[in-house]
Amino acid sequence: MSMRDLTLTLLLAVANAPAHAAPEGPRLGQPLEAAAISALDITVFPDGTGLPPGQGTAVEGKAVYDAKCAACHGPNGSGGSAEELAGGRNPLTSAEPDKTIGTYWPYASTVFDFIRRAMPLDAPRSLGNDEVYAVTAYLLHANGIIGEHDRLDAATLPKIRMPNAAGFVWVYPERQPR
Amino acid sequence: MKPYIEPRTPPSETAGTEPERRRFLKAGLAVTGAALAGTAQAVPPPPWMTRPGAPLSNYGQPSPHERAVIRWIAANADAPGNGISWTPLERLEGIVTPSGLHFERHHNGVPQIDPAVHRLAVHGRVGKALSFGIDDLLRYPMTSRLCFIECGGNSNAGWHQEPMQAPAGNIHGLASCSEWTGVPLATVLAECGLQPNAQWLIAEGADAAAMNVSIPLDKALDDALLALYQNGERLRPENGYPLRLVLPGWEGVTNVKWLHRLQLADQPAMARNETAKYTELLPSGQARQFSFVMEAKSLITRPSAGQALPGPGLHPISGLAWSGRGAIRRVEVSTDGGKTWQDAALDSPVLPKCFTRFRLSWRWDGSPAILKSRATDETGYVQPERQILVAERGRHGYFHYNAIVSWAVAADGSVSHVHA
């Protein structure tokens, strides 16, 4: 960071301070190096920011799914004790709506992000990035969103348009009546 | 420093020698016994008055006679760490929830975290990325506030067609209230500095679910707290030890437990819990998202479902009201199913985004009655009747149920849950 950039950042930091200034701390924060941040940072955003290297297809993902996911989520993403991921038939406006990845989830990035950070439940963080891409591809394929040979990676995944992408209304921040 | 030693009974004229004192005590007992025998049946003192009690303890426990005052647990047997436990609201009084009875929601169990190695990382769109140890944070200026935390899914049985017959806490007890003490988040963010495009804060826990949510920056700078203490002591593990984000008035899931990472971003993460879960499907097929604020709500805890009035006469009505938008201004109670209402008294303190205890004395004439309570907060928002809420939201929203609760008192004094 150049000195000019640094000055700008510090000025903006002041500009962004809350109206009622927070009490000053003793400044004990230790600098976080880039390597330490990348080891911690597992967030994947809808625009693809945060996606790691790696790739996979639904065909490859089926083997991983059958071995590590099907016991709880059922064959093909439904019928298990854990939540339904695919196979939803009832639309969201029906009396018993199905809220699957295909009918409800607005972003494909969320599928990758959640599998990588939290699944499988008994061994989170145990899947490699290729496996996560592959299982993501398998679930998107099971929901009829991509083909079984479509390759998911950091470039292709953010381009996927989910069926319910337009299905959400943000309640916050609250908009003033016009 | 010398240890404190209980002083021995000093010798004095009145105490006399030991044999003399014992003679005196025996004589006294004989006189008392004679007096009792002469006037009424002799009643022996209870055993706790005739022998020494238990010694001192390092950490107090509730009376064995209060063993039934516990959280009610619901979890999948295949994934016992992924479940909830409810606060037994109907068995508590005042506004503070004992820490051991604060409701729980875990997405993959309670981690046992060593505070010596746990750190909070702040990175992303900041001036400089920094990391803080727990001992570091304990040196920062702290503040305390009493506020409730309510799970977005609290009271969701209310969406069902048929009223669920269960104690009040088993339906509405995913809400609890504590005094939280910690470092204002704004203090730590000011140390890092914010880039102009920092608009969201992604908060992540160090649990096996790496639970994460996106929070608008204005809330983070307003009243967010990095909580280290709950009700005067360090956080309980199930409530986020050693560090928890507390966002007063916002739905429970945003109050990230076991907090270890804060990422400043120009967009929300669209994490699973803020898209697939904790969003409310409307009859239109659209869903409400980022519905952070818990709206005003109230609940009569006594009498409530499963309890019984022993007979006609004067009975206390007592309950809780709260609003994520500020202070409770008014709680009205109806004993005739909503035909007439009267103002309940509000116990002090009445604090913003905090449980408020309301009370009313009710003279029950022994005929069937329906009890309701209705909260109004300082913004003028009035807690809705159930049919109004269901008409607006449909029955598949699952989250943010805050309708008026009705309890029916039968002629025999038994209390049940009704939709009325």
Instruction: Mutation target for B interface from A69, A83, A93: give the one with most B CBs within 10 A.
Output: A93
pLDDT at res. B40: 59
Of B145, B138, B135, the closest CA to residue B114 belongs to: B135
Q: Cβ of B141 under 8 Å from any chain A Cβ?
A: yes
Q: What is the pLDDT of residues A5-54, one digit of tens each?
A: 444 444 444 444 444 579 999 999 999 999 999 999 999 999 999 999 99
| Confidence bin at B1 (pLDDT 50/70/90) | very low
Q: Is the pLDDT of residue B204 over 70?
A: yes
A with B: how many residue pairs have Cβ under 8 Å apart? 191
| % of chain A surpassing 70 pLDDT | 86
pLDDT at B160: 95
pLDDT digits (tens, 9 = 90+) for A89-142: 999 999 999 999 999 999 999 999 999 999 999 999 999 999 999 999 999 999
**In this model, does residue B93 exceed pLDDT 60?**
yes
Which tokens hold the place of B223? 């009243």
Listed residue (B101, B405, B177, B189) closest to A22, CA to CA: B189
Cis-peptide, bond into residue A124, ω within 30° of zero: no
Residue indicated by tokens 């103002």: B343
Q: ipTM of the predicted structure?
A: 0.89
In the stretch 369-408 of chain B, residues with CB closer than 8 A to chain A read 396
Whether the pLDDT of residue B171 is over 80: the answer is yes
- Contact list in B for residue A168 (CB cut-off 8 A) is 275, 279, 286-289
Chain B residues touching A106 at Cβ < 8 A: 270, 275
Q: What is the pLDDT of residues B205-258, one digit of tens each?
A: 999 999 999 999 999 999 999 999 999 999 999 999 999 999 999 999 999 999
Res. B80 pLDDT band, cuts 50 70 90:
confident
| pLDDT surpasses 70 at B13 | no
Query: What pLDDT, on a 0 to 100 scale, did the predictor assign at position A10?
Result: 45
Name the token pair of B155.
């009271």
Looking at the complex, does the CB of residue A11 fall below 8 Å from at least one CB of chain B? no
Confidence at B45, pLDDT banded by 50, 70, 90? very high
φ, ψ of residue B189 in degrees (nearest 5): -65, -35
User: Using the 8-state DSSP alphabet, how is residue B194 labeled?
Assistant: B
Is residue B230 within a helix (H) or strand (E), and if so which, with residue range? strand B225-230
Distance between CA atoms of A136 and A130, rounded to whole angstroms? Answer: 10
Q: Note the pLDDT of residue B34.
A: 46
pLDDT above 90: percentage of residues in chain B: 88
State whether A172 and B396 contact (CB < 8 Å).
Answer: no
- B289–chain A Cβ distance below 8 A for any pair: yes
B158/A contact by beta carbon, under 8 A: no
Dump the DSSP string for B109-148: ------TTT-EEEEEESBSS-EEEEHHHHTTS--EEEEEE
- Pairing state between β B415-418 and B406-409: antiparallel
What residues of B are in contact with residue A48 (Cβ under 8 Å)?
none
Nearest residue, CB atoms, B187 vs list A22, A109, A173: A22
Interval B17-34: pLDDT, tens: 444 444 444 444 444 444
Where helices occur in A101-173 by DSSP H, the ranges are 108-118, 129-142
Alpha-carbon dihedral of residues B64, B67, B69, B70, nearest 10 degrees?
130
Dig out the tokens for B228 from the structure: 């280290």
H and E: helices and strands count for chain B: 7, 24
Q: Residue range B338-360: average pLDDT?
A: 98
Give the pLDDT score at A173: 75
Q: What pLDDT score was predicted for residue B15?
A: 41
Neighbours of A63 (CB within 10 A): 13
* Phi and psi, residue B340, nearest 5°: -130, 155
Confidence (pTM): 0.89
pLDDT at A6: 44
| Contact criterion met (CB below 8 Å) for B374 and B331 | yes
For residue B280, give every residue at least 6 positions away whose Cβ sits within 8 Å of its Cβ, in sequence order, or none: B287, B288, B291, B393, B397, B398, B399, B400
> CA separation (Å) from B393 to A29, B151, B159, B179, B287?
45, 18, 10, 33, 10
